[in-house]
Chain A
Amino acid sequence: MGAKLVNITNGVDGVFIENSRFNTTIISFNCYLPIKKSDIASNALLPYILTSCSEEYENFTLLNRRFNMLYGADLEVSVDKTGDTQHIKFSVSVINDRFAFDGSSIVLDATNLILSLIFKPRLNGKSFYDEDINREKRKMVENILGEINEKRLYAKNRIIAEMYKGLPYGISKYGELDDVEKLDGSDLYSAWQRLLLNSYVRVQVIGDVLPKDFFDTVAQRFADIPRNPYTDYKAFSTLEPSDTVHYVTDKMNVSQGKLVLGFTSETNGVNCYKFNVMTDIFGGGPYSKLFENVREKMSLCYYCSASPAVTKGHLLVESGVEFDNMERAEKEILNQLIAVQNGDFDDTTFEASIKSICGSLKSCNDSLGSLDSWYATRIFTDELVSPDDAIEEISKITKQQVIDTARGIKLHTVYKLIGEGSARDE
């Protein structure tokens, strides 16, 4: 695709990915700030307030109706952690102008609307309105509390918090409950100022054409803002291996246990593809060691899979198992890691993994959302890396490199979620 980063203004880059296979254009506004305990909750709540009302549309009903009139333009907000950076994303996807009933410029209208939400919020002096803050705070609190509903996700969040205790990455992406509850108008106003003044911003457009003068319009919006942008977003810090394995067990009224094993690796930003392939052979597709052995041969679980956190260099193995089978499952997962470290996987499995990863990367080009997310989460390199570039790199990986990568994997933490009546308690 040959997309290039365009510098729009100080700490604001633009990317246009030309892709004419879609009926839609997506515009995303990605803001990156360092993860700090003091700021993370206000930074996370802010985008939800900004996208619920604005100077022009004073409540979310009016705003939603405007988006309806733009032929169901989808406004989305997300908050995530990319390494030690907090990633706040605003995006709008809208059908292309040729579908409009009345010949209107839907894409340009949607683009201007998203800019006005970010730059012209509904302010009450140097604060936001209490009704807007309280509404979004209440929903955020309920969202955080609701994490317990999905036990698999809950277990995953718990092990991350344990592995990164005291470190920025260990803080929940929305901040802690207490911090959210304490937020007031001035905190949110400061967060808005931080977003405009201090975040590194990447504006991405994926579609058949770049809306006319769009990057100039973005530059004008920032023109009067004394920018002092965050520059450390490319830093890559990984978790140190631990001399002893940490064991954490929570009890809850559940009928199935959750077992999560957290590992460190020797991965840095440069060799992440080897890490991806190694993790996939260990516990990715149905050809993987964990699927073949823990699920298919031993029938211990419905899922037992490994996933890499490329931006932090750790690896998690997640499984749902009977309480009584947890030790067997844990032992077998570790046995299978040793097998990968010893090169005990055949060429068919190795090739299957390379083909599967390359196949899904190729499919990225067929999905607006995947492309947008691909570029927005790869901020560590100076040059833009496309899915096709990644395929080229992955195709060069050797079996020996996978074995070497596996040998750098060390068990760090074992997390278990077990039933309250269960005898097993560590």
Chain B
Amino acid sequence: MNKKLFKCELLNEEYTVTTLRNGLKIYIMEKQNFDSVYAVFGTKYGSIDNCFSLNNGEYIEVPNGIAHFLEHKLFESEDGDAFAKYSKTGAYANAFTSFDKTCYLFSCSSLFEENLDILLNFVQSPYFTEQTVRKEQGIIGQEIRMYDDSPGWCVLFNALEAMYHNHPVKVDIAGTVESIAEIDDNLLYECYKTFYNPANMFICIAGKVDTDKVLDKISSAIKPCDKIQINRKKVDEPASVVTNYVEKQLEVALPLFCVGYKQQLKTEEPSLRDSIAVNLLLKLIFGESSHFYKRLTDMGLINDEFETEYFTGRGFAAILLEGESYEPKKVAEEIKKEIYSVLKNGIDAELFEAIKRDSFGDTIKRYNSVNNIAMMFIDAAVSNYNIFDEIEILREITLEEVLKHIEIFDENKAVLSVISPKEK
């Protein structure tokens, strides 16, 4: 067991990262003045991991949506349903699957140890049968249908499809009704065996806990596993976009848009420092205090739904600017114009100072919540960094460094996705 302590004087907080001999990483922050605890057991396995090999064997390609399907099914063990067990303790339990991870979580204000037992137990006890798989196909089928009617979801995935030729990030996390129909119990076991190995997993806990006791419990509860080698098939993704415009009609009142700028990554994913810099850049150019935001609001082109995101994960990165507008094409043009203007005129230093303070305050606020702390741990576990570094980076980063990232706004790699109202 290897245990490291991280401290932040400014916040008066500390946490430990412990790596067990089997490779499982455990993040714990004690918050003794809180009533509740938030705990997550996760794996670096998400919707994009759909072609892989175990221990240098042959690559197998699995149906889209299988990571999410597995998440649903893992709640059922041979000795009963995990929700039923949680219901005896009163904990809130849930799970989620993203592009590159699957996480099982609970929050509770009492009986933490019992809840941790339930979490550790069910995540390590897969139980899939033909019958239970079939039952879940109906439920997830309805989840997929629900998202089919969500314009916000569709505008994003259409933008991703327009940007990515081959990368599986363009595929809906839940898959399609057709792809999940191909899932069976054997495939689920295959994926489980590959990705639910402790070496590929992490546990994140924040709240009223005793670190040493928790570590003892986890160490003794983790089942022995063979060391494995996971190879995720490298995707050959061209730098170019597939198409620069995509439009779909749905039942909406005014059009939704998503402008995306695809980034060609030099590393597997952007560093924490680069992510902070790009997020600052987005606030500077497009945030609520920017000239752009005022100009487009005054022109009636955007409303409070307008938002930006640096969308990143394993093997993909893009800038996304989303919102509602009667004139999406004009918004996309104005975004380009604004980039030219910043390239020509720069950004005033006073605004940079204001945005830095704003981001610093946002970071401090995140430590108000055990839920947020656990979420920060998840990102840190997946991308391997110290969460306190964010504060230091924000203190020292310069406008010059931030502005270097403007090169991501490459016009040739821009896409516009629009959801427009159905023609009656």
Contacts and interface: CB of A to CB of B under 8 A. Distances in A.
Contact of B354 (A68, A135, A322, A367): A68
Interface string B138-161: 111011011011111000000000
Contact of A64 (B10, B152, B289, B304): B289
Contacts of A243: none
Contacts of A65: 289, 351, 354
A45 B138 CA distance: 43
Interface in A283-310: 285-287, 295-296, 299-303
A23 B34 contact: no
Interface of A: 20-24, 59-61, 64-65, 67-74, 93-95, 99, 101, 131, 135, 138-139, 142-143, 145-146, 148-152, 252-256, 285-287, 295-296, 299-303, 320-322, 348-349, 351-352, 354-356, 358-360, 362-363, 365-368
A69 B354 contact: yes
Nearest to A358: B90
A146 B253 contact: yes
B365 A295 contact: no
B36 interface: yes
A302 B68 CA distance: 14
A366 B369 contact: yes
Task: Give the size category of B's interface with A.
Answer: 35 or more
B252 interface: yes
Interface stretch (B54-62, B104-112, B228-236): B104-112
17 contacts: A21-B34, A22-B368, A69-B357, A72-B358, A72-B365, A138-B300, A146-B254, A252-B251, A255-B148, A286-B81, A286-B86, A295-B139, A322-B142, A358-B90, A359-B92, A366-B35, A367-B369
A93 B87 CA distance: 34
B298 A299 contact: no
B36 A302 contact: no
A365 B289 contact: no
Contacts of B251: 148, 151, 252-254
B343 to A, nearest CB: 21
Contact of A302 (B86, B93, B139, B324): B139
Nearest to B288: A64
Contact of B288 (A60, A73, A148, A358): A60
A93 B86 CA distance: 34
A61 B286 CA distance: 12
B239 interface: no
Given A23-B368, A252-B251, A352-B88, A151 B110 contact: no
Contacts of A359: 90-92, 108-110
B324 A146 contact: yes
A23 B108 contact: no
Contacts of B36: 362-363, 366
A68 B355 contact: yes
A68 B256 contact: no
